[in-house]
């Protein structure tokens, strides 16, 4: 078992023929991911990387039965791409694009709300189920198969955590990069919930950062649901100054509740194994699973 994507997922790439889309689609195919085609408006009927190109997501879904989409469309058109995927019946929409205007995301997240789909991202590294499907931009070799699930707002910090976990002789069920924007489709809580319900996942790593309430909401949910599996948590940005955006558009301390310190305190109160040092994520995981 795994969550969101697996070896049977049929994936299309939106923004397939662009440089980003091409590069990462190639890497995904090389990894063994079942990429069934791509979408670039106006280039329908062509072939790219040995896969068919479609004009619309609807076409692609009809012809390939795709159920997952990964979006590399430039920021100005990305929200539209998300809504197009949702309308065409794509079940999991993974948006890598960074820099989408907030107003566009307000509209897109409202549009998809009552449709049967799940948005991951935007501004995220994607989702990987090791050995089955890499739907993202992460270096595949870092992620070995195992029983630890990862939820993270950050790209390279996810790789860091996975690497540390693997070096402890453990592995990953699914790693979910939820993204660092102020508005994202799948929250920390929802991603943790998916992994909590996954029978193969025995431990969850939850990596957050300053800004917003997502980690606190997730921590409270974990507690309310009886701490069924151990959760190891880290929050980046203890040293970040108030009121400044730290790279990710959502990483900004506004009030007293969204500092690293406040989040860690809430997580601790909810029974999460919080590490203060980002160098000790793997060690802590090994400790709590008794490996």
Partner 1 sequence: MNLHEYQGKEILASFGVRIQRGIVAQTAAEAVAAAKRLTEETGTGWHVIKAQVHAGGRGKGGGVKLAKNLKEVEEIADAIIGMNLVTPQTSKEGKKVHQVLVAEDVYYPGDSETSEFYMSVLLNRSTGRNMIMYSTEGGMDIEEVAEKTPHLIFNEEIDPATGLLPFQARQIAFNLGLSGQAFKEMVKFVSSLYKAYESSDSSLFEINPVLKTSDDKIMAVDAKVTIDDNALYRHKDYEEMRDVREEDPIEVEARAAGLNFVNLDGNVGCMVNGAGLAMATMDLIKMAGGEPANFLDVGGTADAQRVETAFRIILKDPNVKAILVNIFGGIVRGDRVAQGIVDAYRSMGDAINVPIIVRLQGTNAELAKELIDNSGLAVHSAIEFKEAADKVQEVLQ
Positions at the binding site for substrate: 159
Q: Which of 71, 151, 210, 272 binds partner 1 (CB under 8 A)?
A: 210
Q: How far is the CB of 244 from partner 1 (least distance, A)?
A: 5
Residue 287 as a binder of partner 1 (CB under 8 A): the answer is no
Residue 227 as a binder of partner 1 (CB under 8 A): the answer is no
Q: Which residues are annotated as a binding site for CoA?
A: 17-20, 43, 96-98
Residue 146 as a binder of partner 1 (CB under 8 A): the answer is no
Contact status, residue 178 vs residue 121, Cβ threshold 8 Å: yes
Residue 232 as a binder of partner 1 (CB under 8 A): the answer is no
Residue 209 as a binder of partner 1 (CB under 8 A): the answer is yes
Q: Which residues are catalytic?
A: 248
Angstrom distance (rounded) from CA 2 to CA 4? 7
Q: How far is CA 73 from CA 31, 33, 36, 83, 97, in A?
A: 22, 20, 18, 12, 6
Q: How far is the CB of 194 from partner 1 (least distance, A)?
A: 19
Q: Which residues are annotated as a binding site?
A: 17-20, 43, 96-98, 159
Candidate ranges 9-17, 126-134, 190-198, 212-220; the one touching partner 1 (CB under 8 A): 212-220
Candidate ranges 42-50, 88-96, 99-107, 265-273; the one touching partner 1 (CB under 8 A): 99-107
Residue 255 as a binder of partner 1 (CB under 8 A): the answer is yes
Write out the residues near partner 1 by the rule CB under 8 A.
23, 27, 75-76, 99-107, 109-110, 137-139, 141-142, 152-160, 163-164, 180, 182-183, 207, 209-210, 212-213, 217, 234, 236-241, 244, 246-251, 255, 260, 276-280
């Amino acid at each position: 078992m795994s969550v969101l994507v697996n070896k049977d997922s049929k994936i299309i790439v939106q923004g397939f023929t662009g440089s980003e889309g091409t590069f990462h689609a190639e890497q995904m195919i090389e990894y063994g991911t079942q990429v069934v085609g791509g979408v670039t408006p106006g280039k329908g009927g062509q072939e790219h990387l040995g896969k068919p190109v479609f004009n619309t997501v609807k076409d692609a879904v009809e012809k390939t039965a795709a159920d997952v989409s990964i979006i590399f469309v430039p920021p100005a058109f990305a929200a539209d791409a998300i809504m197009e995927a949702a309308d065409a019946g794509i079940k999991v929409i993974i948006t890598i694009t960074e820099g989408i205007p907030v107003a566009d995301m307000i509209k897109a997240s409202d549009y998809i709300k009552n449709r049967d789909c799940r948005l991951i991202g935007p501004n995220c590294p994607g989702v990987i189920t090791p050995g089955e499907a890499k739907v993202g931009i992460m270096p595949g070799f870092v992620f070995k198969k195992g029983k630890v699930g990862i939820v993270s707002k950050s790209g390279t910090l996810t790789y860091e955590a996975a690497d540390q976990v693997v070096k402890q002789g453990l592995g990953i069920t699914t790693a979910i990069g939820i993204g660092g924007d102020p508005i994202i489709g799948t929250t920390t809580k929802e991603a943790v919930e998916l992994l909590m319900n996954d029978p193969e996942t025995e431990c969850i790593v939850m990596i957050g950062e300053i800004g917003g309430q997502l980690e606190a909401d997730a921590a409270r949910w974990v507690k309310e649901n009886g701490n069924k599996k151990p959760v190891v948590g880290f929050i980046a940005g203890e040293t970040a100054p108030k009121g400044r955006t730290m790279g990710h558009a959502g990483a900004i301390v506004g009030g007293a509740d969204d500092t690293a310190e406040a989040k860690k305190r809430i997580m601790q109160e909810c029974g999460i194994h919080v590490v203060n040092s980002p160098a000790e994520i793997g060690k802590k995981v090994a400790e709590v699973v008794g490996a």
